[in-house]
Structure 1
Amino acid sequence: MAQMQKTLEVRNLRKSFGGVMAVDSVSLEVAQGEMLALIGPNGAGKSTCFNMVGGQFPPTEGEILLNGGDGTAVPIAGIGSRRIWQLGVGRTFQITATFTSMSVRQNVQMALLSRRHMIWKFWPRADDLLSDEALALLEQVGLQAQAERAAAVLAYGDLKRLELAIALAGAPKLLLMDEPTAGMASGERTALMALVRRLVSTTGISVLFTEHDMDVVFEVSDRILVLDRGRLIATGTGAEIKANEQVRAIYLGTGRTSGGH
């Protein structure tokens, strides 16, 4: 990974809420085509990190730099989630967010139209716009056969796939996935993350994700970062993290294997 281009670089990121330091001097890098897992016990600061990278929270201190595509590093700290999305950072959430009254295809079309700033200008005939592109994205996530079904009737695992297609509609260079398999059965978790792994391999997209299922983390991640009480305590491959005594004592060895914030 060291020789690959950086998609994201975070330097000395800090976030305080009142007198509580939720994230304390965290630095990390995500390389192009890398799946990087961010794990830690409840209260470790994972979601706070995500919300700063995604633009939901401005950092108290630190830098967040996104690859501008031309060799430049674009500072994105504190510029807002909409602008960060436009620059190429997609996101999925623990709780799926879809338009339940629309079809599966229309949900993806809305994201495609939004990316092109076309939603209101062409609204009367929006159903005809970018349909082929929407169907191609649905094929990528295994939902093309359900394109005309209402999103409201999808099984939960398929809703997660739809949310992934919507995120991909923004043509992200970096995808943030916050607890992507929350609420899913074991087989669904494995299938979804295997799909993400294939997309990383075929498209070169970078993924930064949090996950409560350690089997998933060790199966699909290229590297793992471990947070505890807002500080980064370990970085390495799955094998290195499993062998790290500090991680075992603080996280893996305590039985606290559910994700948190």
Structure 2
Amino acid sequence: MSVLAVRGLSKSFGGVRAVSDVSFAVAPGEMLALIGPNGAGKSTLFNMVGGQLPPDGGSVLLGGDAITGLGPRAIARRGVGRTFQVTATFGSMTVRENVQMAILAHHGEVWRFWRPAAERHRAAADALLAQVGLAAQADRATGVLAYGDLKRLELAIALGNAPRLLLMDEPTAGMAPAERVGLMHLTRHLATERGLAVLFTEHDMDVVFDVSDRILVLDRGALIAEGDGPAIRADPAVRRVYLGTGATSGGH
């Protein structure tokens, strides 16, 4: 069974059809990229899956259970993690404490936040930090981390609720090329190791073709192509969409 199944999802804003009857699925351990030119509907589709926007029509299923129209917190509790273009961390806390907070929330222990969190889920937090290569920085204040390390920390935080599905919105935005490759190869490894389904948007086409198992291409709210890297590179419709910038260059 697919971890995520999207069926006929649609959304309009006024008279503009932002997403039109889009369907796809993501399997355990699969990296699925969502690309398209500016205004293609990527953000709208992504936010409907994540609960930030309610759809006008269609359904979103997680492990066969409907999550259509649920809010982000309810969706997170069902096993969905998410990273954002702009990192969301607590700069005054240590690296470890940021991850501990995510694990506390997963266990429904938010009411305990007022208590010292130093020993709660410390081992689990350290294990996640080790997985993303931040074990040596566990005791550092998050506010002093380099940007690439902040992105790795955000990934550890997203994994704190033991998700079945990880949504990554422009995960390498603002990163240097070498850091982009490192972060997404790490995500690829974690997806395979955990059987984690990953849906991501990404502007760097080198990253997309390097790490994705399949690629979805949106244009004007409609799904115009779906396949692996070679199939997408050769697709005439994709070439038309990217006319003037090349078949493998895309916008946000």
Q: TM-score range by the shorter chain?
A: over 0.9
Distance, in Å, in 2 between the alignment partners of 1:148 and 1:202 is: 27
Distance, in Å, in 2 between the alignment partners of 1:242 and 1:125 is: 53
| Aligned partner of residue 206 in structure 2, secondary structure | helix
Distance, in Å, in 1 between the alignment partners of 2:23 and 2:251 is: 20
| Aligned partner of residue 55 in structure 2, secondary structure | coil
Equivalent of 1:255, from 223, 245, 249? 245
Which string of whole-angstrom CA distances, capped at 9 and with x for unpartnered residues, describes residues 101-125 of structure 1?
0000000000000111112236323
CA contact 2:35–2:250 (8 Å) conserved in 1: no
Distance, in Å, in 1 between the alignment partners of 2:10 and 2:165 is: 21
Which string of whole-angstrom CA distances, capped at 9 and with x for unpartnered residues, describes residues 26-60 of structure 1?
00100111000000000011111110000000001
CA contact 2:19–2:220 (8 Å) conserved in 1: yes
* Amino acid in structure 2 at the alignment position of 1:95: V
Q: Which runs of 5+ in 1 are unaligned?
A: 68-72
Distance, in Å, in 2 between the alignment partners of 1:117 and 1:170 is: 10
Distance, in Å, in 2 between the alignment partners of 1:124 and 1:112 is: 15
* Amino acid in structure 1 at the alignment position of 2:140: R
Q: CA deviation at 1:254?
A: 2.6
Which string of whole-angstrom CA distances, capped at 9 and with x for unpartnered residues, describes residues 198-244 of structure 1?
10111110100010000100000000000000000000000000010
Q: CA deviation at 1:20?
A: 1.0
CA contact 1:248–1:254 (8 Å) conserved in 2: no
Q: Is 1:62 aligned to residue 58 of structure 2?
A: yes
* Amino acid in structure 2 at the alignment position of 1:59: P
CA contact 1:210–1:259 (8 Å) conserved in 2: no
**Paired position in structure 1 for 2:22:** 26
| Aligned partner of residue 254 in structure 1, secondary structure | coil
Which string of whole-angstrom CA distances, capped at 9 and with x for unpartnered residues, describes residues 134-172 of structure 1?
000000000010000011000000000000000000110
**Quick one: structure 1 residues 122 and 157, their matched pair in 2 at CA, closer, same or farther if it must change by over 3 Å?**
closer
Equivalent of 1:77, from 68, 85, 94? 68
* Amino acid in structure 1 at the alignment position of 2:72: S
**Paired position in structure 2 for 1:119:** 110
| Aligned partner of residue 112 in structure 2, secondary structure | coil
Map 1:147-158 to 2 at 5 A: 147-158=138-149
Q: Is 1:230 aligned to residue 221 of structure 2?
A: yes
Q: Is 1:178 aligned to residue 174 of structure 2?
A: no
Q: What's the TM-score, normalizing by structure 2?
A: 0.97
Equivalent of 1:45, from 37, 41, 44? 41
Distance, in Å, in 1 between the alignment partners of 2:198 and 2:164 is: 9
**Paired position in structure 2 for 1:209:** 200
Aligned identity (percent) is 64
Q: What is the aligned residue count?
A: 250
* Amino acid in structure 2 at the alignment position of 1:34: E
Distance, in Å, in 2 between the alignment partners of 1:186 and 1:175 is: 22
CA contact 2:10–2:19 (8 Å) conserved in 1: yes
Q: Is 1:164 aligned to residue 160 of structure 2?
A: no
Over the residues paired in the alignment, what is the CA RMSD in angstroms?
1.0
| Aligned partner of residue 65 in structure 2, secondary structure | strand
CA contact 1:8–1:64 (8 Å) conserved in 2: yes
Q: Is 1:7 aligned to residue 3 of structure 2?
A: yes
| Aligned partner of residue 129 in structure 1, secondary structure | coil
Q: What's the TM-score, normalizing by structure 1?
A: 0.94
**Paired position in structure 2 for 1:70:** none
